[in-house]
C-alpha cells in the first residue's frame, strides 16, 4: 500500500483505530478522521511513533458541510484519497414501538447518510485516478436483525445495499466497493454490556470467543489491497460463525 492514502472515519478508537494502525503498518498514509480531536491526535501520534505516516482531520458525520471540509483538508496534505474506510458508527437503542424519531434520524444520519456522503466525496478523485478501494463497515445485525436496534439494523442493512449499488456503478473505473460485517467485537463499547448479555452472545458464536478489532482490520486490509482487485460488491462476515 506504499504511496496510497487511506481515510478512515471513526478512527479515534476501537475498530477504526485498529484499521488505521493496520493499514499504516501495510504502508498506507492514514487520514485519522473522527469528531474526537484529542483522540485523533493520539492515534496519529501512535502511528507515527511506529514509523507510519498519518495526520488527523476532524469530521462530524452528521454534517454534509463537515464531511466536505474534512476531505478538502485531507487533500491539502495528501495528493489524493485512494482508500476510504467508512467505519464511523453510533447506536441509540430502544424498542421500535417507543423509538423517538430523533433516535432514528441520528443513527441513520451517521451510519448511512454520512457513509454515502463520504463515498461521494472520495469517488471523484478515485474516478480520475481510475483506482480506488471503498470498504464500508456493516454489521452482522444488518443481515440477521436484532431486537431493540431497528435504527442501527436498518442503517447497516442500508450499508450493504449501498455497497452493492456503488460496486456496480464504479466498477468500470477500476474502483472496488466492499463491506465487512463484524459480529460481536470486544471494544470499550461492548465492555459496558451486562455479563448476561455477553454470555448469551457467546453461546451463539461457533468459535467460542469474541472478535478483536484486529480481526476486522485484517479483513479491511485485504479488501483495500491490490490482491483484492477482482472482488467487489461483496460482504465479508467477521463474526466467528455467529451467523452463517
Cell of 206: 461457533
Closest CA to 84 of 139, 124, 44: 124
Farthest CA pair distance, the chain: 51
d(CA 64, CA 56): 19
Whether 243 is catalytic: no
Rounded alpha-carbon distances, angstroms, from residue 20 to 16, 28, 56, 92: 6, 9, 11, 25
Question: 212: which residues sit within 8 A by CB, 6+ positions away?
Answer: 18, 185, 186
Classify residue 234 by burial, with Cβ atoms within 10 Å: 0-12, 13-18, 19+: middle
2 is written with which cell numbers? 506504499
Which set of grid coordinates corresponds to residue 42? 493520539
- Residues forming a β-bridge with 161: none
> How many CB atoms lie under 10 A from the CB of residue 46?
16
The DSSP call for residue 149 is B
Other Cβ atoms closer than 10 A to 34: 26
Catalytic residue among 71, 104, 152, 210: 152
Question: 92 and 108 in contact (C-beta within 8 Å)?
Answer: no
Catalytic residues: 152
Amino acid at each position: 500500500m506504499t504511496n496510497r492514502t487511506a481515510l478512515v472515519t471513526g478512527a479515534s478508537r476501537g475498530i477504526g483505530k485498529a484499521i488505521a494502525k493496520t493499514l499504516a503498518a501495510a504502508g498506507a498514509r492514514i487520514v485519522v478522521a473522527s469528531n474526537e480531536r484529542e483522540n485523533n491526535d493520539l492515534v496519529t501520534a501512535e502511528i507515527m511513533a511506529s514509523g507510519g505516516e498519518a495526520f488527523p482531520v476532524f469530521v462530524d458525520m452528521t454534517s454534509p458541510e463537515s464531511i466536505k471540509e474534512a476531505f478538502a483538508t485531507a487533500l491539502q496534505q495528501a495528493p489524493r484519497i485512494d482508500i476510504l474506510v467508512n467505519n464511523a458508527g453510533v447506536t441509540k437503542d430502544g424498542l421500535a414501538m417507543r423509538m423517538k424519531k430523533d433516535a432514528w434520524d441520528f443513527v441513520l444520519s451517521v451510519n448511512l447518510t454520512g457513509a454515502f456522503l463520504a463515498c461521494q466525496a472520495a469517488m471523484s478523485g478515485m474516478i480520475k485516478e481510475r483506482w480506488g478501494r471503498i470498504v464500508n463497515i456493516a454489521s452482522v445485525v444488518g443481515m440477521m436483525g436484532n431486537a431493540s436496534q431497528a435504527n442501527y439494523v436498518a442503517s447497516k442493512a442500508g450499508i450493504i445495499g449501498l455497497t452493492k449499488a456503488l460496486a456496480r456503478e464504479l466498477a468500470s473505473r477500476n474502483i472496488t466497493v466492499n463491506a465487512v460485517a463484524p459480529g460481536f467485537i470486544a471494544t470499550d463499547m461492548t465492555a459496558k454490556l451486562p455479563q448476561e448479555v455477553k454470555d448469551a452472545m457467546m453461546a451463539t458464536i461457533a468459535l467460542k470467543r469474541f472478535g478483536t478489532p484486529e480481526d476486522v482490520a485484517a479483513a479491511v486490509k485485504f479488501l483495500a489491497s491490490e490482491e483484492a482487485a477482482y472482488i467487489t460488491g461483496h460482504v465479508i462476515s467477521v463474526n466467528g460463525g455467529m451467523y452463517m
